[in-house]
Structure 1
């Protein structure tokens, strides 16, 4: 259930097609954000009977009939009038009255802060941006300076509350996540983490952190009058940082953040006992965001480049490469490699993909602008190098984190590819949802490899509701199951196959609509379970049933994260024998990132990526050869 990204957000109204977000006003609009948020509806609690019915339907293609029958009986018992289900449902309805969002706190805790696996690979998504051609080090610095200026330009809209509201189907969306991604950081604990947002303090931060050769620097990005530094000024400061960090014989302190959360929590408590270390750590945590100036990646062939770039964004390549050049707890880290490999990684607890992608689209567009103004050479203060005292205990923790990171890096199996045969244009020409079309191809690809259907997670945004995060679109359905089994059956006519595809696509679309309206089953079931735990009641049998474990074992964890920029998001699988699949459908091509674990003999990222390409082409051929059968 981790490593989850939000589904597509349709921008409407005030967002310009160019990708550069235009503020709704040139001056501050105090209180606008709060007024907008208060006008949004609360997340509903779906009817109990409806969830139970859809739960059985979701189980039908993935559990055997005997198991399904057993679960049906448990659900009948659970739903009895005056029974345990009714009591828990009432508890959730009471919770809705008392809270802004009955789910959001629970979700933040259970999906992220209680999760003890490393955030690297297991939770934090990366984004690969188009490759840059830097002819020299100055090119890397210039790009970084422009990028920083672009992020600060976006930040000014957040600070002034002039960020245009997004809409989906004519309805305004919750904008809260935009206010969580800057100046925030995850703080490790030995049993549970926390997230701190420093925009809410009396004097919000005015600095970013820059890391080069494993060394961290504080870079003030605002002048004393509150205006942001110009691109030229930022460039000069980055040059100073580069020249002060040429030696790489420093301990990679940042690699500690890649460790198992309990281990990092203990190491963290040890690290901040020292006053200097504590001040340095706080400076990183409080910074607006982090910029990682990376050493070049190992050289690879052009067709392998995107995959290696995806790996760089997710974990940095291991302790010998750039994994120590990070602070993985920081919400936003922009990565700019000496060899032109660029992108970012973000810590997932505060936000889903769409706010991150909006920010990227804005920054990429901003960086295209020509620089007309040259800056008067006002002397700027030297960026502050952050010092760390490395005791033998801390050195030991760093060595352990290095070893664990190298194991993780070795275990990640990744394939980033561009499907160049068609993009959103083809499904649209067939009057089919591009997302549903791609999801059905993914179902077919998986079925062809494993001869079975599996639980599939696709992220759906709940941002129509106040503080809404995500729910699950269950792409594996009774209808998708019928389609994938028919597709390669020579006894079935093409007209029947197309009819089954059409039905499966429509079923996916219908469940998607249900999910974004707050009527899907996954978060409701989780809420009922957590309500039982909060009531200190015995856990209902439906949550100890084998079916419940099966339905949550997402062999396919997927997300559509569309961007105007020709980029792709990537993330790790959420189960040991699973895949993570993220895609950005452009008009005439689709960017895909597929991940798996090498430690699982049954999975192979390149094999699934190839099967997916074949499935997309086979479905296109089927539709083109059967024009009259289209419904």
Structure 2
């Protein structure tokens, strides 16, 4: 159900600013209590906006049919009854949507988390090309994450705000010491950070072998980068034999298959203890073998694939535990990044952590730590029965099919960054989204249902809603842009209207007034009430509206990086971007199994479209701009 959702990450629509760094005991809870509850929009308002959102997507005949169904939904009293049910739920819960959302969008989603759900982040290439450099960088990275963790533990993390309003910080408290656990019909997420004895170890995986590495001394102080480096060297030295089964590859499988294999795996006491150690660890560090050499043009795209799936069973895919919330990846050739399991958080908290860590790795070590004896990191052992071996082989086959199917293109658009649309008094995000509409229209001759993620973190436990980028105004613009009879100034006016309409929808979404989560709530309320699903949710128009051929997200970062994720429908694209001052980092994904989609082609159209928009603005009369 709603499989498209499992991919989309929340985003701040403008730069998120820290408010305070003061240490105040219990500050997190005090701050959470001041946040408003997520509202339920008026029913009539949502239905009117739904009909408007359908206009660029469906035929007039389909629209008229849906309009009749919507009228019946209102006049029959069904809509009002479900709305009242939602309002009762809102009074009884901290957030009427958050638990439903976690279950529906993530934990009940049965496709593999690899590619289909978990996003990756490509970090700038490091300048080491050997084991020493790899381990030194990994040690500094670990020290940086522990530094960020101390802000979470001490509740000194700056409270972020958006447009002057404080944001919910809950997701920051969910990303460390947490893990997804497979279940036969529904998964669960465990978080050990609030346990009586919170974990003090991380998981390190090298050469498909897992190690438990304590990163705190007995007095509670964290190990320094020098100490961690020595421990990583010990891990490297003990994991050189290559005949180990890649147990981590099991986590790449379809969730039902993995749940069955998981129950089989943990029947053995040793296996169960090893799995629990991974699940409880603060985070995972994957020390990867170097990637196969590729040309500079293809390098970033290949790294993105490594972050998303590890390159296949013969490369680094077994060097992962994809259920782990945070996995930092550092390869011997200097490529590095992260993959994260999406259930506990959206992109911005992950990127804030990465920004902190990347800056931290640049700090010089002014004083070398004195060498002290530290215990050998504990190797996590697994007893591989013939049945488990068979599960691993099946998972390898399925994964390799998925690896070959993912088509990904990462590129840097260098002609301008966010400063150019800003100079024209245009929202950079809305400008990029309108460019995406035009690129898609030029490729396919039609508009498509487009998902852009909007953060609901203004509200307590807020996750995301949908900014619907395909609008009446965007369609008018793309049609006008392709009309040779229209003058430049007319086209610029249509562009401005489309950008302003997108900006208005964004503002509506982040303030809890968008339509997608409300419609989902009404549908889930009907299921909970054990009544028949209303016709408007069984309608062709609803299916078209929810089939997101473009699944997009802006995830801005200070670091010159880009997030990437797979498409959410078989014939769609996943597009993520990080607008820097003078350039934009893009990641475009598609599936090779679909003859109609091609990531490099979409990237090419997008690049040309952005250039055309700049030309259009420059050629319009200056007095009108």
| TM-score category, normalised to shorter length | over 0.9
Answer yes or no: is the 8 Å Cα contact 1:579–1:596 preserved in 2: yes
Return the alpha-carbon distance in structure 1 between the equivalents of residues 96 and 426 of structure 2: 34
Compared with structure 1, are the counterparts of its residues 629 and 578 closer, same or farther at alpha carbon in structure 2 (3 Å cutoff)?
A: farther
Query: Which of the residues 229, 233, 255 maps onto 2:227?
Result: 233
Where does structure 2 lack aligned partners over 5 or more consecutive residues?
none
Deviations 1:309-363 (A, max 9, x none): 0000000000000000000000000000001110000000000000000000000
**TM-score, structure 2 normalization:** 0.98
Answer yes or no: is the 8 Å Cα contact 2:179–2:279 preserved in 1: yes
Query: Which of the residues 567, 574, 591 maps onto 2:568?
Result: 574
**Aligned twin of 1:518:** 512
Return the alpha-carbon distance in structure 2 between the equivalents of residues 602 and 559 of structure 1: 22
Deviation larger for 145-154 or 483-492: 483-492
**Aligned twin of 2:493:** 499
* Structure 1 position 493, deviation (Å): 1.0
Aligned residues: 621
**Aligned twin of 1:462:** 456
Deviations 1:397-423 (A, max 9, x none): 000000000000000000000000100
Answer yes or no: is the 8 Å Cα contact 2:205–2:286 preserved in 1: yes
**Aligned twin of 1:19:** none
**Aligned twin of 1:625:** 619
- Aligned to 2:7, the other structure's residue is in SS state coil
Answer yes or no: is the 8 Å Cα contact 1:125–1:314 preserved in 2: yes
Q: Is 1:39 the counterpart of 2:34 in the alignment?
A: yes
* Structure 1 position 23, deviation (Å): 4.1
* Structure 1 position 627, deviation (Å): 3.2
Q: Is 1:65 the counterpart of 2:60 in the alignment?
A: yes
Return the alpha-carbon distance in structure 2 between the equivalents of residues 430 and 501 of structure 1: 12
**Aligned twin of 1:24:** 22
Q: Is 1:7 the counterpart of 2:14 in the alignment?
A: no
- Aligned to 1:619, the other structure's residue is in SS state helix
Deviation larger for 534-543 or 127-136: 127-136
Return the alpha-carbon distance in structure 2 between the equivalents of residues 423 and 416 of structure 1: 16
Return the alpha-carbon distance in structure 1 between the equivalents of residues 22 and 608 of structure 2: 45
Where does structure 1 lack aligned partners over 5 or more consecutive residues?
16-21
* Structure 1 position 628, deviation (Å): 3.5
Deviations 1:103-155 (A, max 9, x none): 00000000000000000000000000001121421100000000000000000
Return the alpha-carbon distance in structure 2 between the equivalents of residues 484 and 84 of structure 1: 38
- Aligned to 1:218, the other structure's residue is in SS state strand
Query: Which of the residues 534, 538, 549 maps onto 2:532?
Result: 538
**Aligned twin of 1:443:** 437
Return the alpha-carbon distance in structure 1 between the equivalents of residues 208 and 100 of structure 2: 36
Return the alpha-carbon distance in structure 1 between the equivalents of residues 622 and 526 of structure 2: 53
Return the alpha-carbon distance in structure 2 between the equivalents of residues 12 and 229 of structure 1: 31
In the TM superposition, what are the counterparts of 1:11-410 in structure 2 within 5 Å? 11=15, 14=18, 23-25=21-23, 29-80=24-75, 83-410=77-404
Return the alpha-carbon distance in structure 1 between the equivalents of residues 57 and 264 of structure 2: 47
Deviations 1:185-214 (A, max 9, x none): 000011110000001211000000000000
* Structure 1 position 7, deviation (Å): 1.7
* Structure 1 position 13, deviation (Å): 5.2
**Aligned twin of 1:601:** 595
Return the alpha-carbon distance in structure 2 between the equivalents of residues 73 and 9 of structure 1: 35
Query: Which of the residues 407, 415, 424 maps onto 2:409?
Result: 415
Q: CA RMSD in A?
A: 1.0
- Aligned to 2:531, the other structure's residue is in SS state coil
Return the alpha-carbon distance in structure 2 between the equivalents of residues 312 and 295 of structure 1: 11
